[in-house]
């Protein structure tokens, strides 16, 4: 059974999310009223998932995300917020968030978010497209958000003119695995299967790792 820690300073929201994810079959190890308690709980209990409100006393969700990512790259972290500023989303992506939801839609989208992240993907609410967070000129970023952290890392290395063999050596994986990632990236980005297409795309867009 997958384990979860949830943090929110609003008791009603906290209890609602706890009941919801328990009904989905997840084991809630701890619920926390602030970010500091969440950080301590994550360190002690090592959950599979962490669901964090972005705005909390003690440490906010971004601060918890940053601290955890400094020490652990594997814990799956989901942020949800009522704020629609693009700057919060951009910072969360750069810090390695796995999921990002708007609070008004968090409950209805959380099950899909957890499923996608369990399958090794990142998941960002489609509702973001309907807000000021992601505007039309950010259409390429929407595609990039669909990539897993490993895929974004490979795309970043491709932008640095590394070939598959070098990337495999840098990431301690096989050439075959790199080629599989390349193929998946091309499909997710909706790019034509042409020579150097990933390098061109990576050079034209900022790739958050």
Instruction: Show Cβ contacts of residue 110 under 8 Å, excluding neighbours closer than 6 positions.
Output: 17, 20, 21, 51, 78, 101
Q: Residues 5-14: pLDDT tens digits?
A: 999 988 988 9
Identify which has the larger pLDDT, 208 or 28.
28
Place of tokens 């509702």: 127
Question: What's the confidence (pLDDT) of residue 142?
Answer: 67
The arrangement of strands across the sheet holding 3-7 comes to: 27-32, 3-7, 49-53, 76-81, 99-102, 123-124
SS3 assignment, position 17: helix
Considering the domain 3-134 in this protein, what is its CATH number? Answer: 3.40.50.2300
3: which strand partners? Answer: 27
Cα 85 to chain center, whole Å? 17
The domain spans of the chain are 3-134, 149-204
Does the global pTM surpass 0.75? Answer: no
CATH number 1.10.10.10 is the correct assignment for the domain at 149-204 = yes
Residue 139, pLDDT above cutoff 80: no
CA 5, CA 48: separation in Å to the nearest integer?
8
Question: What's the confidence (pLDDT) of residue 137?
Answer: 41
DSSP letter assigned to residue 104: G
């Amino acid at each position: 059974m997958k384990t979860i820690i949830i943090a929110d300073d609003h008791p009603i929201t906290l209890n609602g999310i706890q009941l919801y994810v328990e009904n989905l079959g997840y084991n809630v190890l701890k619920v926390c009223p602030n970010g500091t308690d969440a950080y301590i709980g994550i360190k002690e209990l090592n959950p599979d998932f962490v669901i964090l409100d972005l705005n909390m006393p003690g440490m906010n969700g971004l601060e918890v995300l940053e601290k955890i990512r400094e020490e652990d790259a594997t814990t799956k972290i989901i942020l949800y917020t009522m704020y629609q500023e693009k700057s919060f989303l951009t910072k969360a992506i750069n810090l390695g968030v796995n999921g990002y939801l708007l609070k008004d839609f968090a409950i209805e989208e959380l099950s899909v978010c957890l499923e996608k992240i369990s399958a090794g993907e990142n998941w960002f609410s489609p509702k973001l497209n309907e807000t000021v967070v992601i505007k039309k000129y950010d259409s390429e970023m929407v595609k990039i958000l669909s990539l897993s952290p490993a895929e974004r890392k490979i795309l970043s290395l491709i932008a640095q003119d590394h070939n598959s063999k070098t990337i495999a050596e840098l990431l301690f994986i096989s050439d075959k695995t790199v080629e599989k990632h390349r193929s998946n990236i091309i499909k997710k980005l909706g790019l034509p299967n042409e020579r150097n297409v990933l390098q061109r795309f990576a050079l034209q867009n900022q790739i958050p790792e």
